[in-house]
Chain A
Amino acid sequence: NAGVMQNPRHLVRRRGQEARLRCSPMKGHSHVYWYRQLPEEGLKFMVYLQKENIIDESGMPKERFSAEFPKEGPSILRIQQVVRGDSAAYFCASSPTDNEKLFFGSGTQLSVL
């Protein structure tokens, strides 16, 4: 049973470009969470999705950031017009229900030049 798969592992973008981060949850998991980790800090919740629905996006910046979890395919975190402050590690996690431990992916390290 493969774990949570995130790709790419590292992503480099220039200011103003778009970043797309992908996350395939563990098999059988329909709950997906995105977290962001800035250098020297803990993980901060961004968004919680179930298939085709955003359940809680209270941690998402209001502009430039969006997330989806389509019926088929991975969850996507999209950052438009990236700025240097978006440089961080972005972690995806999944769980089978909404009240069980999270299984994390290895993260995507986004670097904005």
Chain B
Amino acid sequence: AQKITQTQPGMFVQEKEAVTLDCTYDTSDQSYGLFWYKQPSSGEMIFLIYQGSYDEQNATEGRYSLNFQKARKSANLVISASQLGDSAMYFCAPLGSGGGNKLTFGTGTQLKVEL
């Protein structure tokens, strides 16, 4: 079983600044993946970025990147050059190696981007 901890219930960042959203996890799986999803106020869940536990490089997708520290079991999301449209809830979710996409979501971090 996986356990996810997102310690920041709310974060504020100024437009054009970078922000880091924390995520730590606890898993006994040797091989696993980590997903980040964004949920704007409209409610849909939007895939942002994925990191495999055996990937040598930190994942990047446009303005999103992961600061993946396997030994510390953390996979923090970095958003560079924040935009007003980045205001949303952000969820971290690990995927175990047991087959099936039974993601376990954290409680999320509410990000607010200000002018």
We find that the number of chain B residues with CB closer than 8 angstroms to chain A is 22
Residue pair A95, B101 in contact (C-beta under 8 Å): yes
0/1 string, A87-99, CB within 8 A of B gives 1 = 0010101010011
Residue pair B101, A33 in contact (C-beta under 8 Å): yes
CB proximity of A55 to chain B, nearest CB, Å: 6
Q: From DSSP, what is the main secondary structure of chain B's interface residues? A: loop
Interface residues, chain B, CB within 8 Å of chain A?
4, 35, 37, 42-47, 50, 91, 95, 99-108
Interface residues, chain A, CB within 8 Å of chain B?
31, 33, 35, 41-45, 48, 55-56, 59, 89, 91, 93, 95, 98-107, 109
Residue pair B104, A45 in contact (C-beta under 8 Å): yes
Residue pair B104, A98 in contact (C-beta under 8 Å): no
Residue pair A101, B104 in contact (C-beta under 8 Å): no
Residue pair A101, B105 in contact (C-beta under 8 Å): no
